[in-house]
Structure 1
């Protein structure tokens, strides 16, 4: 009986997530975001007092004093269509503060981000990025500037904070920033490897949502956050090191609140969807399904990225990349060929959830 219930839990499925390129498709994706503005998804919001926001009260857990900070969340994702060319565009406006949870440490600062890009543009393997050696792949995957340059065909237009978007992979549906897999230390901040002789004495301090505040007081994620699908962290977030489950097994913690559904989790800086690490029937998207940039072509031949708990977590480059991924990043112990297996962790998490239920 227990095995049957576990199989039912693991076999949860959803309808296939269709991602086209029409204006209605763009509207559907924009509605996946926890917008605070009233104009979404059909118009952007002006950066004035009329930009509707949500205020959250969050404790500053760095001190033992009863301190709190008022977090003002602003998020507006909208779509438009060029009357002449028919090209659909998505505009993303956020102050970088995620809606729905607090922070396990320093209260972050607002960061005005506003960009517009061609939505879900069709790409072909003719434009695929090819790495000729593992060293060449390392130079890209293990650089904190791996996502600085966006392909010109995306027609990216930055309205605000262009100089601070170099390390951004995309924006999550809660308005939080999804960062490039490598911060300035040139190592996977979760599972660093020391084989390259690099100094890793200043790793970021992650909270239980697996986010961190950088030296510019900007909050962001790298690994898939368990708080994207769970709103109970609004006042409970704390340092990952102070949470036994998070500190002992951060990879399984990443998956704890994730539904086995193919769903939108964000939008990349190149206009392509960032989705959950599951196919529509609930099976896990394996490393062999992904190219060297961290994306893949869906059945409708639309290109998407996955956000997961395996390096590079979201993407190493703006794809498509050569298929499949054949090189391993030497700056991480948490790669597809590493000793950490996501599928095993997922089964253990499902079993734990089942035990809790009974």
Structure 2
């Protein structure tokens, strides 16, 4: 926009680009349309979610509608008519991502004693009572939709045995940092691996978010532990206890090395990202009855650096395209040594 803020607009009808293993009569076509600041600057020194007791952590992470409000710094605007109180974001296949809670406010796959696990198909999604097809956990189907009919999770031995490890194994062909969605606060949602091929098993906060590089980028990562994708809008804190609504949570949260390096700093991205421009870009799908997703970024800021990364998911059955464009830039600071060299050269030329 005119202030140099990169925006992303996401539109989807919520229908999957595949034949899901649920009764077709339960599917609801959605009108999801929202705009948000893309990858907004955040700081580990200014947390959006600071949950310092088991009670506050559990009340937030374990409540189905706890993410109904988006942090104001994200510039979130909802243009659609579909309610998004239980949604954390949208996957790159156009299917909704919900909070990691069942209607009973506990882990839908590893509930505490007395709870009942929910059923999903082999792409780890299902419909709620209003017919909204959605995920609570990551799956390789999000980046590579299968063709033909899929079956239930119960019919797949590995999925039925342990849905959490099955979730991670579905990314066996994507063992690098892979975009699987965008959260409603504008942060990217990645699969379970870093660019190095290392699986994310630590370094994330209570929201499942992590500072993952030296310039302070923050994103959510898929994990094999609850809350699996996004637990709250981050950044969050790192307590030495987990929530009480799951038998598959972490016992303690640990900072990534990058997060540690940013402690007591005033800013993260804003200290290094300065002059950037992203060209206007639009990707629109042509189907309404099956699946359509549009993610658009716009920026009018003059720049000296331009880097564009895009991710597109598609299938031959359905026209379904999702493109995420984001710009990253390197600040134009000249270090002291370089400045002195330039000063000496200038003085020599003047004397000559």
Global fold match (TM > 0.5): yes
The answer for the alignment partner of 2:178 in structure 1 is: 263
The answer for the alignment partner of 2:124 in structure 1 is: 210
Output the CA distance in 2 between the equivalents of 1:102 and 1:200: 29
- Compute the RMSD of aligned alpha carbons: 1.7
Cα pair 1:229 1:257 within 8 Å, conserved: no
Cα pair 2:201 2:223 within 8 Å, conserved: no
Shift of 1:155: 1.2
Cα pair 1:106 1:213 within 8 Å, conserved: no
SS in 2 for 1:127: coil
Unmatched runs of 5 consecutive residues or more in structure 2: 253-352
SS in 1 for 2:216: coil
The answer for the alignment partner of 2:291 in structure 1 is: none
Cα pair 1:211 1:222 within 8 Å, conserved: yes
The answer for the alignment partner of 1:312 in structure 2 is: 227
The answer for the alignment partner of 2:85 in structure 1 is: 166
Unmatched runs of 5 consecutive residues or more in structure 1: 1-81, 339-358
Output the CA distance in 1 between the equivalents of 2:12 and 2:224: 24
Output the CA distance in 2 between the equivalents of 1:149 and 1:298: 25
The answer for the alignment partner of 1:343 in structure 2 is: none
The answer for the alignment partner of 2:164 in structure 1 is: 251
The answer for the alignment partner of 2:246 in structure 1 is: 332
Shift of 1:301: 0.3
Cα pair 1:96 1:110 within 8 Å, conserved: yes
Shift of 1:98: 2.5
What is the CA deviation profile of residues 56-85 of structure 1, one whole-angstrom value per residue up to 9, with x for unaligned ones? Answer: xxxxxxxxxxxxxxxxxxxxxxxxxx12x1
Output the CA distance in 1 between the equivalents of 2:31 and 2:118: 22
**Structure with more helix by fraction:** 1
SS in 1 for 2:45: helix
Q: Which has the larger radius of gyration?
A: 2
Query: How many matched pairs?
Result: 246
TM-score by length of 2: 0.67
SS in 1 for 2:159: helix
Alignment of 1:53-92 (within 5 A): 82-83=1-2, 85-92=3-10
SS in 1 for 2:182: strand
Q: Which has the higher contact order (CA 8 A, sep 6+)?
A: 2
Output the CA distance in 2 between the equivalents of 1:325 and 1:223: 23
Shift of 1:180: 0.3
Shift of 1:306: 0.8
The answer for the alignment partner of 1:228 in structure 2 is: 142
Shift of 1:119: 0.8
Cα pair 1:251 1:309 within 8 Å, conserved: yes
The more displaced of 222-231 and 257-266 is: 222-231
Shift of 1:325: 4.3
1:93 and 2:11 correspond: yes
Alignment of 1:1-16 (within 5 A): none
Choose the corresponding residue for 1:292, options 196, 206, 209: 206
Cα pair 1:210 1:221 within 8 Å, conserved: yes
What is the CA deviation profile of residues 129-155 of structure 1, one whole-angstrom value per residue up to 9, with x for unaligned ones? Answer: 212211111111111112111111111
The answer for the alignment partner of 2:343 in structure 1 is: none
1:192 and 2:111 correspond: yes
SS in 1 for 2:94: coil
Shift of 1:294: 1.2
What is the CA deviation profile of residues 240-262 of structure 1, one whole-angstrom value per residue up to 9, with x for unaligned ones? Answer: 12222221222232123312111
TM-score by length of 1: 0.65
SS in 2 for 1:136: helix
1:146 and 2:38 correspond: no
Output the CA distance in 2 between the equivalents of 1:330 and 1:187: 9
Dislocated runs of 4+, deviation >3 Å: none
Output the CA distance in 2 between the equivalents of 1:132 and 1:282: 32
The answer for the alignment partner of 1:102 in structure 2 is: 19
